[in-house]
A and B are shown apart, each in its own frame.
Chain A
């Protein structure tokens, strides 16, 4: 009986983990004139919508001491910045922008996405 209960609970837990991590709705934000992104357990917001053909200024403020997040990498733009704690760091993404590109922390554990609108 206990085995059955553990099995049911376990499978439900697996389902819950799947839903929790993969089922989230990503909240995107327009960054037409610039945007401040809070780095705390990830990037908030982590989906940034930008306009094609326009440079974009993004300001990152790291509030998370996790050393994984101390580096910010935009591979497609060849940008790598060190993010000191609680200090805004502004980067400019020059056009042309790829339709979809991303950014991530130094160890590639936390991710953000950039979507281009026409």
Chain B
């Protein structure tokens, strides 16, 4: 067995040789190579003689650490959680100690303000003693970061703080130690221990609050990860001679026997075992009982149930599922027990895809961030130069004391962190909030553009409508009694025939006439694109469109023909029913509008967004549905392949597109009249249109193609989420802008104030301790402002 793993703790090439030797001497190890450059070991060993733990112990015995992942290893999330907890505990301890010491230093530094302070506290040596741990223990992290940065010729906020406080502390120490000599040289006797200590305390306090607040910006991902079930009850074949052993990977797991439904003879040879979720394989049959979480994605093979999918899709009503239906991992089984076959496990499950997508969106960059990106690269060195310039000008035109304090104030007030945090924190909270409501946002850019949508185009079938046709009307030939028929007999003929077809229209008819009994059908024939035919109770029955009736030479009925014309004008699809070559009944079918469609369109119009509908249906059917939804702009008879082209045209001129017909026109070649167009569609065939729109909104169950092409996916299939997504985009953008204005404004205004530009006019100078307070507050305010998004109604 060959394995590679990282090693920590090597500081030279001989360390690598040392480990290599140690490993090679270990029994069972055939070969070992340790690379110092990549800090990695590659070991070839016999698993029957040695194991990973053993190898890890050998390396630990040599004084290094092997990072071997596998069972019991911590996930990056756990490591992060652990590190964050430790960081918070460390910061808390430092804040408490340095806070106490800083208060004492402050009291001792200004006896004129605090007359109650004991004399000893005002002694410069005591102040030095109290300030030293704050400077070099609590503030040690600033020095570490500064040093490692300087070695790389880079600088960060820590550099500014380290230089600022060291200047204050160092100068004060010199005053304490060489007071006489410096006074003789005419150098001011002022001390700045209080400034250095308070700055460090306040910055640490700020970091403490910031770390606490930042932990909440990734709550959404944590919530999603917690949805995952830990184990699955899998059916595995029993090994006959050793019933306690099963062929699953965990023989010691909880084994339950004989509790299977005896629907299949094979199952008698199966046992149910609880296995960790990571060991579930595609093809495994899994049992889920009421109240349990469905462990992975799959297809029901036995049983039925009602399933609460709200945690993944945001749909509030449980969905009924039966054999053949797909189930989603992490959703909750409400009522029945069922078996299902795992079709997607591990990284492929819908939940994993959602987590991945949210994490990706959170790490993508919003275009609005560009300016902050450019500035951040030059920020700290520029502030360092400004601080020196401040010192020179104040030294030349003012006093040393003014020059010194203003220089420190400039170093301390600059806050590049607020700039760095302004956009990403808002994007994190915004995308997380969306995911909680079943709105998956692919990247920060989609979230940013969504608020600029000026034109919203809906695909008709499956997006505006439910995508399931329903029978809306039925009429019978008034003379059916003379033909020896009754309404019931006609209904029986329809149901008997249509039960044999899988067509959505057939299903709608069967569901509408569900009470009618079904008889045996002879010579059943499905004529694609036309209808069905067969013999019921010895009579020939034909159900289909007008063309089929003409082909079959059916005797027409004037009364039903009139109805047909009326229903067709209403945009409905017609099904003619003929028994024994006579037209006896007519059914009208229509796809029904989603309940929330009208409200959604209304809301979008209120947001001053042009709403369009695009469909492959004929003009009449399209207009009928559009009218119900309150949409006046309709693009009808558009082939799927043409949808993308229509969307492109709409982008540049909606008025032009309004008059577009389907004749081939030269492709659009350029205009400045660009509008932000969003397209909402549901299927794979909508992918090109989703991709060509500025914002593609997939109404989906998370099929990969649609999700890939769309910027936003509405997992809950609720049309109103389009409005929610736009609202979310608006709120997030508002927060980002506030953050950027605050972060930029803060730096742009307060750095000059710290430099003392207001002094000639107002006499204002910035106290460095106040600067530290403002700096700490700026980062916290940016993160807190982003967290405000969590409470927004969308």
Contact = CB atoms under 8 A, between A and B. Distances in A.
B38 A13 contact: no
Nearest to A8: B392
Nearest to A110: B154
A109 B443 CA distance: 22
A73 interface: yes
Interface string B575-600: 00000000000000000000000000
Interface string A7-39: 100110110011011101000000000001000
B146 to A, nearest CB: 9
B421 A107 contact: yes
A68 B388 contact: no
B76 A84 contact: yes
A10 B416 CA distance: 24
A40 B9 CA distance: 15
A85 B83 contact: yes
A59 B443 contact: no
A41 B6 CA distance: 21
A87 B67 contact: yes
Given A10-B391, A80-B359, A41 B150 contact: yes
Interface string A52-93: 000000010100111110100111101111101111110000
B381 A22 contact: yes
Interface centre among A18, A59, A66, A108 (most CB of B within 10 A): A108
Given A75-B363, A78-B443, A87-B6, A17 B388 contact: yes
Contacts of B152: 40-42, 44, 46
B396 interface: yes
Interface centre among A14, A21, A70, A75 (most CB of B within 10 A): A21
B144 interface: yes
Nearest to A21: B381
Nearest to A41: B148
Interface stretch (B155-163, B529-537, B703-711, B751-759): B155-163
Given A14-B388, A18-B385, A22-B381, A109 B157 contact: yes
Nearest to A111: B377
Given A41-B151, A85-B83, A36 B360 contact: no
Contact of A82 (B80, B147, B389): B80
Contacts of A61: 6, 39
B154 A41 contact: yes
B303 interface: no
Contacts of B424: 106, 108
A3 interface: yes
B395 A74 contact: no
Contacts of B372: 108
Contact of B148 (A10, A64, A82): A64
Contact of B79 (A11, A17, A84, A88): A84
B67 A109 contact: no
A67 to B, nearest CB: 6
A6 B396 contact: yes
Contact of A36 (B37, B65, B363): B37
Contacts of A106: 420, 424
B76 A41 contact: no
Given A3-B396, A6-B392, A17-B381, A84 B80 contact: yes
B361 interface: yes
Contacts of A14: 385, 388-389
Contacts of B156: 66, 68, 109-110
A108 B420 CA distance: 5
Interface residues of B, number: 61
B42 to A, nearest CB: 14
A110 B747 CA distance: 19
B782 to A, nearest CB: 11
A6 B395 contact: yes
A81 B77 CA distance: 10
Interface in B364-392: 364-365, 372-373, 376-378, 380-381, 384-385, 388-389, 391-392
A17 B384 contact: yes
A7 B148 contact: no
B8 interface: yes
B568 interface: no
Interface string B392-417: 10011000000000000000000011
B153 A86 contact: no
A10 B392 contact: yes
Interface centre among A41, A44, A107 (most CB of B within 10 A): A41
B475 interface: no
Contact of B363 (A17, A21, A78): A78
B153 to A, nearest CB: 4
A56 to B, nearest CB: 14
B83 A70 contact: yes
A57 B377 CA distance: 26
Given A21-B154, A66-B158, A75 B385 contact: no
Given A61-B39, A87-B67, A75 B365 contact: yes
A107 B39 contact: no
Contacts of B324: none
A36 to B, nearest CB: 5
Given A88-B39, A107-B420, A66 B148 contact: yes
Interface centre among A24, A64, A74, A78 (most CB of B within 10 A): A78
Contact of B145 (A11, A13, A18, A66): A66
B514 interface: no
A21 B364 contact: no
Contacts of A78: 360-361, 363-364, 443
Interface in B125-183: 141, 144-145, 147-158
B506 interface: no
B252 interface: no
B150 A13 contact: no
A24 B388 CA distance: 21
B381 A10 contact: no
Nearest to B67: A87
A6 B156 CA distance: 26
Interface string B58-84: 000000010100000000110110010
A75 to B, nearest CB: 4
Contacts of A74: 363
A73 B80 contact: no
Contacts of B37: 36
B392 A107 contact: no
Given A21-B154, A21-B155, A68-B156, A88 B148 contact: no
B363 A64 contact: no
Interface in B1-20: 6, 8-9
21 contacts: A3-B396, A11-B392, A21-B155, A36-B39, A40-B148, A41-B149, A46-B152, A66-B145, A66-B156, A67-B207, A67-B211, A74-B363, A79-B360, A84-B79, A84-B80, A84-B83, A85-B83, A87-B6, A106-B424, A108-B420, A109-B380
Interface of B: 6, 8-9, 37-40, 65, 67, 76-77, 79-80, 83, 87, 141, 144-145, 147-158, 207, 211, 359-365, 372-373, 376-378, 380-381, 384-385, 388-389, 391-392, 395-396, 416-417, 419-421, 424, 443
Given A40-B148, A78-B364, A85-B83, 17 more contacts: A6-B391, A10-B388, A10-B395, A18-B381, A20-B381, A21-B153, A41-B148, A41-B154, A65-B144, A66-B144, A66-B158, A78-B361, A82-B76, A84-B76, A86-B9, A88-B6, A109-B156
4 closest A-B pairs by CB? A41-B148, A80-B363, A42-B152, A75-B365
